Structure 1
Amino acid sequence: MMVVIALEEHTASAAATPERRVLHTTRGNGHGGIVRLMSPSDLGERLKPFVFLDLFEAAGDAIGAMPVHPHSGIATITVLTEGDVRFDDPDAGRGTIAYGGFEWMRAGGGVWHGQEMSRGTTSRIRGFQLWIALPPELENGSVESFFVEAQRVPQIGPARVILGEYEHVRSPVAAPDGINYLLVTLKAGERWTYSPPRGHSVAFVAVAAGTIDVGSPLRAGDMAVFDKEGVMTFRASTSEAATFVVGSAIAHPHDLVLGRYSVHSSAEALILGEQKIEALRAMRPQIVAAQREQFVPIFKGR
């Protein structure tokens, strides 16, 4: 007989709210140890402000091989689901990012980055990197970078609140309003229902390990896009635990204007971002000049 461990619903109305349908699933495109699940030129247009998602897996020392590279107009969120890495940052100090912790980097008007993290204690790492498109008032604004260790990330039930607020539990990062991003691990056979806040018409899930059922099975490496309304119920396989990320948000109402390494809401904002990136490169040639030609654009821009 199959045994299902059910978590208490967080809202009394959840049982009466219809389930969101899965509209689309993908396994993305593989590039070595990186699987590109979403880019701004494909699912990112449908799921904005979520515009980019990579599932990565690599040897622990690969993290130090990342070349310095630029961004503007976005924020990046890097979450580990297995293993750990060290960070050493002039502003954030030193520490370790492992399961439940993350890096938040708001590129704003332009930044070069890529060598703030190094090998930790584990031989392999696995996780997700998500990009969100910033609203016009932030897309050419100041740069912000935080490394948030696991003990500082609040948890409700099986979910860690990486971005946003869920059931009165708030992320330590001041991300733009209207965006939730959760890291979840369910025990074998466990069930969990997520009720997105009002107005969150955009929603997705991506699986790092194990298998979950959302009306149909999703296994490690799968990403699913949900309908606009209702709750989402996730059930882990009875044979193993499952780890995944869930995002929900108010839809980003602006166009996505793409550069080589930037996402903005207008051509004018993109020009400002690219000008700032070039100005920074000129100021720090010993760091970034040799890396410029090594950087391969990771989505279809202009």
Structure 2
Amino acid sequence: MSQRTIRTVIKPQAQKLGPLTMHQPLPANGLDQLDPFLLLHHHGPTTFPAHNSGLPFGPHPHRGFETVTFIYEGDVRHRDSSGFSSTIRTGGVQWMTTGRGLVHSESSSEEFREKGGPVELIQLWTNLPARFKGVDPHYVGLQKDEIPSVTLDGGNVTVAVTSGVWNETTGPVQPVYDVELANVTMLEGGSFIRRIEASRTVLFYLLNGSVIVSEREVTGRTLVVFQNDGDELHVRATSDSRILLGSAEPINEPVVSYGPFVMNTEQEIRQAVMDYQSGRMGTLTD
């Protein structure tokens, strides 16, 4: 067993996206992807006033990958052209397989638009291999109490397991492609060791707080990029912290993206645009 070494750390700059403040550590300059992780947007924390217009993610198409939305504060109302619909609140997760294509929207509930309140989200895109890009779209929405958790280090570390396995606890989402994702909450002084096969890509995003990982201290908001040279992560919190931690085997295929479409060739992108414009991905109106 050996610790992975850190290749680089990425501190994203703040950007305004409607009423939200958004941080994008992935993609970043010099880092197009962490195969198969394509994009990570950290929205907030932001407080919406009463009588607000809600989240600004109106109907838009996707094809060729999976989207995962972690709702740390607030709520997200999901609707899509395949007929899936749900409102997920604080602590919940939305996992959507876009596959051959669909149109969806992410808005706020009527109650939230009326009363306002804090909002914090992470939106993550994970790629699909060519063999899965044509699968039927699918959606899973989970509330906080539907996501199992594991307690480590005498209660100093809590792991909410979305997919994959932690200490014999299996997450409720079974992704099309083998992606493990969990949210780790750490109290100051807490620590854990996570074994991840050296061949797998690690996604390690520190939302807030400060931790020592691979003998280096990092502070939130930070994406830590690792080499594939070890099979363990050793993490210790130097203040109360939250981490989005995941892993997956690299797909190692060409990636051609155009806005909301992620395929393997330019021709497939052109086809995706035509299919969306002709209504083959369905339609959705607010």
State whether TM-score is above 0.5: yes
Tell me whether 1:144 sits opposite 2:138 in the alignment.
Answer: yes
Contact 1:178 / 1:200 at 8 angstroms: preserved in 2? Answer: no
SS of the equivalent of 1:269 reads: helix
For residues 30-179 of structure 1, what are the structure 2 equivalents within 5 Å?
A: 30-32=14-16, 33-39=21-27, 42-45=30-33, 47-57=34-44, 58-60=46-48, 61=52, 63-81=54-72, 83-87=73-77, 89=79, 94-99=86-91, 101-118=92-109, 120=112, 123-157=117-151, 158-179=158-179
Shift of 1:199: 5.7
State which of 11, 14, 25 in structure 2 corresponds to 1:27: 11
Structure 2 counterpart of 1:98, which letter?
Answer: T
Unaligned runs of 5+ in 1: 1-16, 289-302
Contact 1:111 / 1:280 at 8 angstroms: preserved in 2? Answer: no
Shift of 1:93: 5.6
Contact 2:101 / 2:281 at 8 angstroms: preserved in 1? Answer: no
SS of the equivalent of 1:18 reads: coil
Contact 2:159 / 2:184 at 8 angstroms: preserved in 1? Answer: yes
Q: Residues of 2 paired with 1:272 and 1:166: CA distance?
A: 40
Q: Residues of 1 paired with 2:281 and 2:124: CA distance?
A: 28
Task: Point out the structure with the larger strand share.
Answer: 2
Q: 1:156 and 1:44, CA in 2 relative to 1: closer, same or farther beyond 3 A?
A: farther
Partner of 1:192: 192
Contact 2:103 / 2:281 at 8 angstroms: preserved in 1? Answer: no
Partner of 1:4: none
Contact 2:77 / 2:108 at 8 angstroms: preserved in 1? Answer: yes
RMSD value over aligned CA atoms? 2.6
Shift of 1:122: 6.4
Contact 2:212 / 2:235 at 8 angstroms: preserved in 1? Answer: yes
Contact 2:150 / 2:160 at 8 angstroms: preserved in 1? Answer: yes
TM-score by length of 1: 0.78
Shift of 1:89: 4.8
Structure 2 counterpart of 1:59, which letter?
Answer: T
Unaligned runs of 5+ in 2: 152-157
Structure 2 counterpart of 1:234, which letter?
Answer: V
Partner of 1:181: 181
Task: Point out the structure with the larger helix share.
Answer: 1
SS of the equivalent of 2:279 reads: helix
Partner of 1:202: 201
- Identical amino acids, percent of aligned pairs: 17
